[in-house]
Structure formats: structure tokens, C-alpha cells
Amino acid sequence: MASALPSQFLINEFFISQYIETVEEHFSSMFPNVETDTAIYVDTIDTIHRAIPILGRSNAAYHDIEHTFYVFSCGLEIIRGKHIIEGNISLEDWCHFVIGLLLHDVGYIRNILESDNDKIQTIDMDGKTIKLTDEDTDAVLTNYHVFRGQAFAKQFLINYKTIDLDKINKLIAGTTFPIPEDFSPEEFAHLVQAADLIGQMGELYYTSKIAALYDEFKENKTTEKLNLNSPADLLSTYPSFFWHVVHPNVKDVFKYLEAHEAGKLWLTSLVNQVFAQENISILGGKSKRLFQELVRAKQFAVNHDERLALITEILMKYFNCQIGHVYSMNKTGDKIESSGIWRVTSEEFEDFKKVTQSLRFSKGMGMPGHAWETREVQWISDLGQRDPKEFPRATACKKLGIKFAFGIPILSGGTCRDVLEIFSQKSISPTKSDEMFIKMIANAIND
């Protein structure tokens, strides 16, 4: 039976459940010996229930409840990593951090302050106001969102005896942007700042939302300041903005994300999107889709083997090849052997599979051994003509008409543990551009 509730209520209920489930999982992981009826935790959960309907009112094209959730999720992974490394996060600091993330952009939303009146919005502590037009979205309040967020927190949190308003104000101040040259936020405010930047730029579909962000920039006159004339112009600034603005301010936080798997996913998505945008000028439409698929495979694979299998299948389809396979380092670390990960287009390659699975390569031996030793992409254009003593599968390749192959070393934490190999019956002689493109693929695949 269909619900009688209006759709907006259903959306709010969905986000409440997402936020609450995320907080509960992190709470139980970080504070396993703390009861859930502890006063400050109860108050934190209550703020989520009360804040979601307000966050859901935003009509800004980009800075909405979904954006807040990504920042919220990223921030919790950051503080989890800090807890893993340093072990000094108190429940009080964690709960304040959760609320700071929750309210970090609430200042974008109109009519949240007691002094707001329909289209009249308060923008500073002296009571100065601006009047919104019928065409304005909440993005018009961008430049005032920190003050408005702090003012909202004061009235929203007034009845919670466990919550320190001064701490919340400092956390919200961490989202000040553009970042002032002399800006030195306190420890946890800096983590909110990092979550805001990484949670935005590391979101898997961030580049697909550039048009929405551009609309906000146009509305608040940022496009004029940055000389941007289209969403494509904004997207083209992505790598430069990351390296010159984001990276210097958040690089010290990367170690917290690197401390656990969920955090690594944020870094992987961030780095791969920056990489893809840096090289977009030499990528065609099909190539761009390839990189998007590779990033998503890394992001959503449930384990290492599934990730390798997905990447193998993606590359086989892209290059229209017949065989894909992965070699992995053995337990003693002195050889690589078949991982059992295979993708083949026909049963005629069964003999090739049997030969491959019987072989173990030392460093420098065969194409897989060369890729493992050098940690660089290897390719062979005339497989059937190679000396079987140096390339043990040359005879099988000649019999099956396999002419071309390349091997990509898969790195994890700087160590090569796997080599992904692709074989084709087409005769290919890679150009310099082809070689560079395959190296780009290797960089996108590796951590």
C-alpha cells in the first residue's frame, strides 16, 4: 500500500535513517564500552532528527542535504582514522564534531533565523539584512553562511546542556571560504574544513554535478570573479584548484583517511578524479567513460579480487581483446602465479589457460615478471615470434593467433603484488600516444 505521506516527508525520513545509521555505526566502533543512553550521545541523535527537515529545505543547486551528507560521511571517516592512529578522541569531542559536520552549511538556508522574515535575511551580527528576489535560490547566501550557521546554532542548540555552543561555532568557522591567508582553525575545526573540501571534491559523482555548482557560482557572482563562462570552464579548474588550494590545506589529514579502508576509498576517489581531469584534454569521449568506469570499479568492489576482476573485464571490452588474466604474488613472495582471475571470450583459449596456470614467474621472467620487477607497464607486439625460452607462452600464442599483449603492475601501498595482463589476436604496434594512454590507465588503477 502506498504511503499517504507527501514525498518531501519521505525524503526527510530517508536521510534521517542514513545519518542515524552512519552515526550509530561509528559510535559503536569508536566507543564500544559507552552506553547509547549517555546524555551527550542522546542529544546528538536528537539534533540529527531535528536538523534534517531544515537541511532538506535548501533549494540551492549544489549545497543541499545530499552535499551535507557526503561531507558528514567523509568527516566521520577522518575522525575515525585520527582515533585509530592517536586514540585520543573523547566522546564529548566526537559528538561536538558530529554536530559541527551536520550544521556546517545550514547557513545557506533561508528563514532559519528568528530575525529572518520571508525574503529579508540577516547577514551579520549587527543585524544587517539583504532582500531576496523571487528568482534567488539559497546560493545567494553563500558569502554569509558561516555567520548564519553560527547564529542558527545558538538558537537551535540553546536547550542542550551537554553541548558547548562555542565549540560548535569554531567548527562551523572551519568552513570559511575562500580560505583567508592567516586562517588557522583549531584542531577539530581544521578536520571539518578538510571534510568539507574532500567530501566535496572526492564525491564519486562530483564532476557530474559541476553544472549545479556553476549555477550557484553564477548566482553569487563568483563566475565573474573567476572569469568562468560555462560549467566546462569550472571543470577545467578542478586540478589546479585541488593542487593550489585544497591540497596545501588538507594534506596533513590524508594520514587519517589512509588508516582504514573506508577512508582509503575517499582518497582513491579524490585522487583518481583529479588525475582524470588533469588528462582530460587528451581523452576522447570513450576514453573518459573508461576512466569513470575504472574509478567506480575501485570504489564499489567489495574486495581486492573483485576489483581486479572488474578492471580486467573493463579493459578487455575497451581494447576489444580476447583474454584477461591476473598473476599474484605467492605466499613466499619470490614468484607470481595465477590468481584464478580470468576473462576469456571463447573456449578455444582453454589450452592457453592451462599453460598459464602451470607457470610461475620470477622477477624479470616473461612479460609478467618484467612488469613485476620494473613496476612499469610492459607490452609485446609480436608474441608468436618470441623465443619460448624467454617468453614461455610464445608457442601457445602462435597456435591461437595471439599477437599482442600488455601487462600492468598493480600497486598497493607502493608494493607490486599483482600483474594484470591482456591479450589480443589483433596485431598492434603501440604509438607513443598509445603507450602514454596505457600508462595513464595504470596510474588510474593503482592506489
63 CB-near residues (< 8 Å, 6+ apart) = 105, 108, 138, 139, 142, 216
Q: What percent of the chain has pLDDT over 90?
A: 55
Spatial neighbors of 256 by CB under 8 A, at least 6 apart, are 77, 78, 79, 80, 81, 82, 84, 85, 191, 263
pLDDT at residue 1 is higher than 50: no
Dist CA 58 CA 218 (whole Å):
17
**What span, in angstroms and rounded, lies between the C-alpha atoms of 252 and 256?**
8
Global pTM value: 0.69
| Per-residue pLDDT reduced to its tens digit, 153-175 | 999 999 999 999 999 999 999 98
186 sits in the region (left: phi over 0; alpha: psi -120 to 50; else beta) called beta
Write the pLDDT tens digit of every residue in 105-137: 999 999 999 999 989 999 999 999 999 999 999
Residue 151: pLDDT above 80?
yes
d(CA 394, CA 405): 11
pLDDT band at 3 (very low <50, low <70, confident <90, very high): low
**Taking a C-beta distance cutoff of 8 angstroms, is the pair 56, 8 a contact?**
yes
Q: Examine the pLDDT at 388 and tell me if it is beyond 60.
A: yes
What span, in angstroms and rounded, lies between the C-alpha atoms of 256 and 262?
A: 11
Q: Which residue from 70, 206, 86, 221 is spatially nearest to 140, judged by alpha carbons?
A: 221
Helix and strand numbers, DSSP H then E, in the chain: 20, 8
End-to-end CA distance of the chain: 47
| Full DSSP string of 376-412 | S-EEES-GGGS-TTTSTTHHHHHHHT--EEEEEEEEE
- Cell 562555542 maps to which residue? 166
Q: How far is residue 258 from each of residues 174, 198, 252, 350, measured CA to CA in Å?
A: 22, 13, 11, 40
Question: Is the pLDDT at 142 greater than 50, yes or no?
Answer: yes
Residue 343 CA, distance from chain mean position? 28
pLDDT number for residue 373: 94
Give CA separation, 397 vs 353, 359, 369, in Å: 11, 15, 17
Domains and CATH numbers, the chain: 7-278 (1.10.1300), 306-445 (3.30.450.40)
